[in-house]
Structure 1
Amino acid sequence: MSFLLPCPNCGDRSVNEFRFGGEVVSRPTPDASAEAWSSYFYFRPNVAGEQREWWNHRYGCRRWFYALRDTTSNEIQATYWPGEQSPATTS
């Protein structure tokens, strides 16, 4: 079974064309504590359910985008560009 990821620019493509960039988390301020920076780099919530993630279409348009993915079913609910409003989900 092939996992398809819809690139906002190129449409549905095999996940093998993409690079996973991780969960989207807020970056600490430059003067934040060492603990805050350590948490930012090494600890992720890794929730069971809907999660916002970074993806890069490395073998296509080479652009980075967000994907809303349900981690329990691996279903992609939406993809969109950074700076755009997160689309409403049906969940």
Structure 2
Amino acid sequence: MMLIPCPFCGERSESEFIYGGPVGADRPDPNTVSDAEWVEYLTVAPNPLGPVHERWWHARGCGEWLAIWRDTRTHDIVEAPDDSK
């Protein structure tokens, strides 16, 4: 079980949250992309290895949206990676 730190409710079980997708993933306009690109957007989920920036909705709690960094290898909530290196 993953514990997600809600800034309002404290650490809570992942069962209280709904995954909202990666931060910064823009939905393409289906009228301006090819059918193949649109199908790929709808069906191919990115699966990076390491820290990812994600949105989560605290649906069974305070109802707030939050953004966290989660390491996909361990499911640990981690600090934002230092991109200055």
TM-score range, shorter chain: 0.7 to 0.9
Please name the residue that 2:13 is paired with: 14
**Structure (1 or 2) with the larger CA radius of gyration:** 2
Asked if the contact 1:20–1:56 (Cα under 8 Å) also holds between the matched residues in 2, the reply is yes
Q: Supply the RMSD in Å over aligned alpha carbons.
A: 2.2
Structure 1 residue runs of 4+, over 4 Å off?
Answer: none
Taking CA–CA contacts closer than 8 Å with sequence separation of 6 or more, which of the two structures ends up with the larger relative contact order?
Answer: 2
Structure 1: unaligned runs, 5 residues or longer? 79-87
Residue pairs, 1:60-71, within 5 angstroms: 60-71=61-72
Asked if the contact 1:56–1:64 (Cα under 8 Å) also holds between the matched residues in 2, the reply is yes
Structure 2: unaligned runs, 5 residues or longer? none
Instruction: Give the TM-score, by structure 1 length.
Output: 0.70
Question: Identity rate of aligned residues, in percent?
Answer: 40
Please name the residue that 1:89 is paired with: 81
Instruction: Give the TM-score, by structure 2 length.
Output: 0.74
SS in 1 for 2:77: strand
SS in 2 for 1:53: strand
